[in-house]
Amino acid sequence: MVEVEGTVQRSEKAQRGVELLPSRVTVISRAEVPLPLGVIDKVGAELDTRFNHRVIDLRKPSVRAIFELRSALLAGFRSAFLSRDFIEIETPKLLREGAEGGATLFPVDYFETRAYLAQSPQLYKQMLMSAGFERVFEIAPAWRAEPSDTVRHLTEFTSLDLEVAYPEGADGLRTILEEVLVDALRSTHQELAARKNPLASNIPDVRTPFPRIPFARAEEWLGRPGAEQDFGSEDEKAIGARVQNDFGVPFYYLIDYPTAVKSHTFYAQRQDGNPRATWYCDLDFRGWEIASGGLREHRIDRLRENFVAAGLDPERFGGYLEAFRYGMPPHGGFGFGVDRLITLLAGLSNIREARLFPRDRYRLDP
């Protein structure tokens, strides 16, 4: 690394139209040679090589552009939420119980007992509904102990969560999410364009409302009506292609998820007129699930029934249920995968590229 002082003057021969005539050059620190990967050349490197030497990889302008996008997008989300009277919250990341069962929890030694890294802020943001915090959001890390080695999954990821009391039904909740997303995308485009970031052109100009595709219709598209099986990655790609063909839009909701598919999600509200279906949905973008949520069960007696149906002991969730004993308003919300959205907006081949220092099944360093 060097520090150079001199005179800047115009030059037709220089690539940027100017050149520096140095009068003093100071060596600040020396770099080992050769570098483990190129910074300014176009020679590619394996993903593991890039992550093993991540600091050097991050020097590339094309990589920096990804994190300028990330910064602008998160700022856009915050602005969109705050303009709608949401409060930003911070919930605990060390928990006694997980929000989505124990199979994907990371255990942690916590003094004389066992704790777990948070899969999501789900239980706490619901508890705040009872406290009168009627519109909240959080942007924070979360962890899933899934032994997945796909381009869509991470062990440590950033989750954007929102919760709303007294939503105007399931569709009113969806409207809030899609309008926040559209505002965030527009401000992201403006910020990147001002920075002359090449990824500005990747930000889609989308309109609301997004299409609502019933789960049953998507099953028919896949040729398996009534199967009530959750969609895998290839299913999601096929559905995304169908939506693009029929509606010409990148964002869409998959609504009315069957209770059988969401049986592990004890807080998902079942439809009173059709208990085989929930008020839950996914928000997908070009064949990738990027958000999931819906109306929550606010009635404590039915919530206890859902615990039992999911094979969970309600007594182990005493702190959570306490909030429901003294008045819980109707409410709902979403968990949103920030890293997945950035992966798609930046045109990346692997979600690990969307994080500065990714963590997966095999990587704990650097």
Q: Looking at 54, 78, 152, 212, which residue is catalytic?
A: 152
**Amino acid occupying residue 328:** M
CB neighbourhood size of 149 (10 A): 9
Pairing of strands 212-214, 251-255: parallel
Going from the C-alpha of 287 to that of each of 180, 182, 192, 225, 336, the distances in angstroms are: 20, 18, 25, 19, 15
DSSP 3-state of 277: strand
CB of 149 closer than 8 Å to CB of 360: yes
To the query of whether residue 114 is one of the catalytic residues in this protein, the response is no
Instruction: With residue 320 as reference, give the H or E element that holds it.
Output: helix 318-325
Q: Among candidates 182, 177, 209, 208, which has minimal Cα distance to 295?
A: 177
Nearest-CA neighbor of 166 among 122, 132, 202, 205?
132
Q: Which of 270, 340, 352, 355 is catalytic?
A: 340
Catalytic entry in 68, 100, 179, 289: 289
- Choose among 261, 277, 253, 205: nearest CA to 229: 261
For residue 199, what are its two tokens? 């990824």
**CA nearest neighbour of 72 among 207, 186, 161:** 186
CB contact set of 161 (below 8 Å; sequence gap of 6+): 120, 121, 122, 125, 137, 138, 139, 140, 333, 334, 335, 336
Give the closest residue to 158 by CA, choosing from 4, 357, 302: 357
What is the CB-side half-sphere exposure of residue 344 using CA atoms within 13 A? Answer: 17
Q: What is the dihedral of CA 260, 265, 266, 269, to 10 degrees?
A: -70
Q: Is 134 marked active-site?
A: no
Quick check: is 96 catalytic?
no
Gap between the Cα atoms of 340 and 27, Å rounded: 41
Catalytic residue among 146, 179, 228, 305: 146
Q: Is 146 a catalytic residue?
A: yes
Among candidate residues 135, 144, 296, 355, the one labeled active-site is 144
Query: Which of 135, 138, 292, 331 is labelled catalytic?
Result: 292
Q: Of these residues, 50, 70, 135, 153, which one is catalytic? A: 153
Any catalytic annotation for residue 340? yes
| Distances 119 to 113, 126, 142, 182 between C-alpha atoms, Å | 19, 15, 5, 26
- The values of phi and psi at residue 157, to 5°, are -145, 170
Q: Give the catalytic positions in this structure.
A: 144, 146, 152-153, 289, 292, 340
